[in-house]
Amino acid sequence: MVTTPITEEAFAPYGQLLSGQPDGTRTTIAEAALDLSRGTPRFYVMELAHGRTTFTRITRHHQVTQVLAAVGGGAWRMAVARGDGPADEAPALDDIVAFEIPGDVAVLLHRGTWHAGPFYDEPTMAFFNLELTDTNVVDHDTSELDVRFGVECWFDRRLPS
């Protein structure tokens, strides 16, 4: 899957981008999209000990928006698909897009957005993760792409022509 640099416009169907701003700046529209009202928020540093570059599953959360950001400023990748279709409808392969995310940008996923990642090139990497305390227990809808389509997806970092 071709990985493209992330922009606010390209990412808008899937969520919002959060980037640095001066202290004292009023709440932005992007920040206002955060919704943790359906449970107890959990903000933690998620350490991943593998440099994943392929995936066979894509997941979504119906109850919460989710924010992910790299700790330490390293670039990373994520695959996403719109999650605003019927509750029981998994994305088609053609609906999944991949983004390269610079280390100084956080992504806020809309509630229901399908996502796979984070992915990165280093052996280990840490990410700030903001979701609910039980998101991965009670709000974890996964589509197995290998079972549905017989594929393993990987990131092609060439820009589309």
Q: What local confidence, expressed as pLDDT, does residue 118 receive?
A: 94
Distance (Å) of CA 120 to CA 9, 43, 47, 81, 96: 23, 21, 12, 19, 18
Please state whether beta strands 54-55 and 153-154 pair in parallel, antiparallel, or not at all (unpaired).
antiparallel
In tens digits, the chain (161 residues) has pLDDT values of 888 999 999 999 999 999 999 999 999 888 888 999 999 999 999 999 876 788 999 999 988 999 999 999 999 999 999 998 777 789 999 999 999 999 999 999 999 999 999 999 888 999 999 999 999 888 989 999 999 999 999 887 655 54
Q: Is residue 69, in this structure, part of any structural domain at all?
A: yes
Q: Is residue 64, in this structure, part of any structural domain at all?
A: yes
Q: What local confidence, expressed as pLDDT, does residue 161 receive?
A: 47
Q: Is residue 140, in this structure, part of any structural domain at all?
A: yes
Q: Is residue 103, in this structure, part of any structural domain at all?
A: yes
Q: What local confidence, expressed as pLDDT, does residue 156 receive?
A: 78
Q: Which two tokens stand for residue 98?
A: 């991949």
CB 60 within 8 A of CB 112: yes
Q: Is residue 161, in this structure, part of any structural domain at all?
A: no
Q: What local confidence, expressed as pLDDT, does residue 89 receive?
A: 86
What's the CATH number where 94 sits?
Answer: 2.60.120.480
CB atoms within 10 A of CB 58: 26
Give the integer Cα–Cα distance in Å for 55 and 88: 21
Total of domains in the chain: 1
Strands (E) located in the chain? 3-5, 15-19, 41-48, 54-55, 57-60, 66-70, 76-81, 97-101, 105-109, 114-119, 125-132, 141-144, 153-154
Q: Is residue 109, in this structure, part of any structural domain at all?
A: yes
Q: What local confidence, expressed as pLDDT, does residue 106 receive?
A: 97
pTM of this prediction? 0.91
Helix (H, G, I), strand (E, B) or coil at 149: helix
Q: Is residue 23, in this structure, part of any structural domain at all?
A: no
Q: What local confidence, expressed as pLDDT, does residue 122 receive?
A: 87
Tell me the residue range of the domain where 112 lies: 3-18+31-154
Q: Is residue 26, in this structure, part of any structural domain at all?
A: no
